[in-house]
Structure 1
Amino acid sequence: MTETDRLARLLDAVTACLDDPGLTGEDLAARAHLSRHHFDRLATAALGEPPGAFRRRLLLERAAHTLATTDRPVTVIAFDAGYGSLEAFTRAFDRAFGRAPSRHRLARDPRFRIEAPSGIHFHPPGGVRLPATEGDPMSIVTDLIDQHVTLVGELLEKARPLSAEALDRPVPYAVDYSSGDTTLRELLAHLVGSTERWIAAMSARPAPAEGGDSISALAERYGKAGPEWRGLARTALEGGRSGETFIDATCEPARTFTYGGSVAHLLHYGTLHRCLVIGALRAEGVEGLPVSDPIHRVGAAA
């Protein structure tokens, strides 16, 4: 288990029970499937504060936010934060924020975070905000490139068992490059062909010859084109050349594009066509389709 996995498990155990402040340390450890001693040791190392203190802080942060944004009675807020009396809540709140809960409410101060070594805080309405991990923002774009190439390959494999009738059945979607009915085969062929054409444009090579449009042929073509385009795109972006222009001699007449613009174009339309392919495959009863939404695959928390 990675450190990220371990932290996620600890956070799940603590934050999932914010609405049950009566839970004990033993209860929290059990939710993480750990002994109390092991749980306390790992949580303190990962969070920079004991798990009990971490949870009390999150509850106080939530209380401060609730005071400033709602008219809920202070006594109810105190009980929700795990305090058995208004007096105990007031003392704890004053230590954390330097003023009584009543004064905080009157001020309607939107600030509610208490300084913490982990940088992990309550996030309205009922979640937790983790600090961003270190990394290059460009990695999100390169992750999208990797996701696109992987997904197109997976979709081609999912289409292999389909009959010619299914592949050539019109699908009820309008796409801007088709003059008539669009078929699943046409969508897949466009995903492959557009990749080959952009490779030729970015590499100053002649336009590629038309290849076969059987699924086996398309998969074979993409097995070469997908990785090659990914390499060209990543090399250009990671080398700081996204604004560099090139002449696309495969167009008639020739046109000028930037590397960044060409990558954005292929990812934009590629996302549309992937979604259409997934819809068409689902309509044909294909199961186990990949998830196209990048929130589940790109830059997602472990």
Structure 2
Amino acid sequence: MKATDPDRLAALLDAVSGCLDDPRLSGGDLARRAHLSRFHFDRLAAAALGEPPGAFRRRLLLERAAYSLATTDRPVTTIAFDAGYGSLEAFSRAFYRAFGGPPSRHRLRRDTRFRIACDSGIHFHPPGGIRLPATEGDPMTVLNDMIEHHVWTVGELLAKAQPLTPKVLDETFPYNVDYGSDETSIRELLAQLVFSCERWTAAMEGGAAPDETENSVSALRERYAAAGARWSRSVTSALADGRSGETFIDALCEPPRTFTYGGAVTHVLTYGALHRSLAIGAMREAGVSELPSSDPIHWADRDKD
């Protein structure tokens, strides 16, 4: 896909994907939906997609038609009309040019291949959207984002817990996991999230065991201001240096045990996700509003809102 302004490309794609069910719309209609002049809309499409907007939409509709032929029993004539063709004959000709065979053969074979070759790599995505090709990036980006999301979310939860009374913080509820006690509380979950970063950073760096004696929310926030950033730096450095499979002896265990850096990271993130979710649920029940999401997908989309 050719480089272009991401916001303008998004406007173009939104305009096209939002009107796939109305193939009678003209190019001018699409431009107005994208809040662009027809001239700029056509120029943007040519630069970003390598094909005029009308051809781009016809291709997406043909791809959708091919998918529908293979996965539904809808009449071929209905599929043809939904793809913007005024007759079955016109649809069949266009389909043959794109897929090398008639619609009837595609249906008979239940052929689920529906993408038509194009320069942009942008295709119809079932059931009714658009799929964009992946952009080049660091393979570690996903894991780094999970680490950053975890550190940020825990910090937000600690801030949100600051006004809660001791009664709310210490009220217990079931804790059904594969280790530990059968009950927990908001305070215990937050303390565990802080301690986990402290404890595993100390283990990986060969430091002393963290002091857990003070677990007021203010104290947890103060501890986490240092611990969260330190854990993030430690693990991202190890991963960036290709040391995820490197082992270390955890002298804080009784008896000492051997772990890998990658295993330690996934442990913190896995149980961290559980503890975050439980804390968010309990704090929501306690009436706390505007809580962060424990799901990284919402955090990743935060700049799009």
Same fold (TM > 0.5): yes
Q: Does 1:193 align with 2:230?
A: no
Q: Contact (CA 8 Å) 1:144, 1:298: kept in 2 or not? A: no
Say if 1:108 and 1:178 are closer, same or farther in 2 by CA, change over 3 A: closer
Equivalent in the alignment of 1:257? 259
Equivalent in the alignment of 2:162? 160
Count of aligned positions = 301
Q: Return the alpha-carbon distance in structure 1 between the equivalents of residues 262 and 169 of structure 2.
A: 33
- Write out per-residue CA displacement over residues 165-191 of structure 1, whole angstroms, 9 at most, x where no aligned residue: 111111343455543641111110111
Equivalent in the alignment of 1:296? 298
> How big is the shift at 1:299?
8.4
Q: Contact (CA 8 Å) 2:175, 2:182: kept in 1 or not? A: no
Q: Return the alpha-carbon distance in structure 2 between the equivalents of residues 77 and 175 of structure 1.
A: 50
Q: Aligned with 1:257: secondary structure? A: strand
Given residue 171 of structure 1, which amino acid in structure 2 is its aligned partner?
F
- Write out per-residue CA displacement over residues 70-129 of structure 1, whole angstroms, 9 at most, x where no aligned residue: 332221111000011122212222222222223333343222211111101112222222
Given residue 122 of structure 1, which amino acid in structure 2 is its aligned partner?
F
Equivalent in the alignment of 1:171? 173
Given residue 23 of structure 2, which amino acid in structure 1 is its aligned partner?
P
Say if 1:120 and 1:289 are closer, same or farther in 2 by CA, change over 3 A: same
Equivalent in the alignment of 2:49? 47
Q: Contact (CA 8 Å) 1:174, 1:182: kept in 2 or not? A: no
Q: Contact (CA 8 Å) 2:174, 2:182: kept in 1 or not? A: no
- Write out per-residue CA displacement over residues 229-261 of structure 1, whole angstroms, 9 at most, x where no aligned residue: 001100111111011000111111111110000
Q: Give percent identity, aligned residues only.
A: 68
> Where does structure 2 lack aligned partners over 5 or more consecutive residues?
none
Match of residue 104, structure 2, among 91, 102, 105 = 102
Given residue 291 of structure 1, which amino acid in structure 2 is its aligned partner?
S
Moved over 6 A (4+): none
Q: Contact (CA 8 Å) 1:148, 1:267: kept in 2 or not? A: yes
Q: Return the alpha-carbon distance in structure 2 between the equivalents of residues 131 and 301 of structure 1.
A: 20
Equivalent in the alignment of 1:56? 58
Listed as ranges, the matches of 1:93-132 within 5 Å are 93-132=95-134
C-alpha RMSD of the superposition: 1.9
- Write out per-residue CA displacement over residues 242-281 of structure 1, whole angstroms, 9 at most, x where no aligned residue: 1100011111111111000000100010000000110111
Deviating more after overlay: 282-291 vs 164-173: 164-173
Q: Does 1:75 align with 2:71?
A: no
Q: Return the alpha-carbon distance in structure 2 between the equivalents of residues 50 and 10 of structure 1.
A: 12
> How big is the shift at 1:300?
9.3
TM norm structure 1: 0.94
Equivalent in the alignment of 1:243? 245
Q: Return the alpha-carbon distance in structure 1 between the equivalents of residues 139 and 206 of structure 2.
A: 29
Q: Contact (CA 8 Å) 2:155, 2:224: kept in 1 or not? A: yes
Q: Aligned with 2:259: secondary structure? A: strand
